[in-house]
Amino acid sequence: MYRFLLTPRWWGINVFALVAIPFCLFMGSWQLGRFETRVDSHREQQTEAATARTAVARPLGDLLPVTTETSGRQASATGSYDTEHQLLVPNRDLDDRKGFYVLTLLRTDGGKALPVVRGWLPGDANSRTDTAKVPTPPAGRVTVSGALQASESATSKGADASGGLPKGQLGVISAASLVNLVPYQVYDAWITEPKATGALTPVPPAAAPNTGLDLKAFQNLGYTGEWFVFAGFVVFMWFRLFRREAEAARDLALGITPDQPDGQQEPDGRPDGPDGPDDARQTRSQAGAA
């Protein structure tokens, strides 16, 4: 009854199912693993960020380059602020309020400059009234400590890579964006100070790239469901085809055949007449007799 399973057609169906189902389960498990990894990284990042706020700051050179492990750690650097190249980073939200960052470059003893986000101000970076509230950075030699952050990219939250910003403004905090604005080298990192002066509000450190529960993390969770659904669909279609073939084989074994379509010839090769096969033969017999 199930000899149809040995036909070439069913060999192909069976091989496809045996390959597709484990593949879908593997891909679903892999996507689920990526989501769980992001969740674990997010928890570790939150724990490390909480610890870093009270940890002793380490020299900047000991924490570079910035990785997921060093991002958010307290780093310190010594030098003097470049007051001639202070920059504003517009369109940055804090607590659901519009505002801008105040970024000042610290010329370190090593020669390179470290971008320091001294704080956040509400308002518009193009408004003279709002920018007049920016406090002057400390003069002379200073030691600055803050949460170490990786350079931003065009896809970073709040970053504006469209260009066309007025002089004195910066859309993306990165060494690549600053290299054309200042006449010296810049570290491929930046820090945000935990304490702000004047009207400034401290900018909280951001999670390291690919560690937070962002849209990509929930995309992994969605892909997990899709792959498991694909596996279930393959199983469903296999059983549906199998049941249909089994029913057809059982009907043939019982001598049950599908209904003949209209216009099919009789066993003797003559088509049915309009009034049925008997009337058609009778009509032809009378015509022959005449």
Q: How does pLDDT run across 132-149, given as a tens digit for each residue?
A: 999 999 999 999 999 999
Cis amide prior to 115 (ω within 30 degrees):
no
pLDDT tens-digit map of 152-209: 988 887 788 777 889 999 999 999 999 889 999 999 999 999 888 889 999 988 876 6
pLDDT tens-digit map of 239-265: 999 988 888 888 777 777 766 454 444
Quote the pTM value.
Answer: 0.62
193, two tokens: 């100070």
Query: Is the pLDDT reported for residue 276 higher than 70?
Result: no
Query: Is the pLDDT reported for residue 285 higher than 50?
Result: no
For residues 174 and 54, the model is more confident at 174
Question: What's the CA gap between 160 and 101, in Å, rounded?
Answer: 13
Beta bridge partners of 102: 88, 119
62, two tokens: 């000991």
Average pLDDT, the chain: 83
Termini Cα distance of the chain = 55
Q: Note the pLDDT of residue 212.
A: 61
Question: What's the CA gap between 55 and 75, in Å, rounded?
Answer: 10
Q: Residue 29 contacts by C-beta under 8 Å, 6 or more apart in sequence?
A: 224
Q: Note the pLDDT of residue 179.
A: 87
174, 114 in Cβ contact below 8 A?
no
Nearest to 203 by CA among 80, 116, 83: 116
Model confidence band, residue 290 (pLDDT cutoffs 50, 70, 90): very low
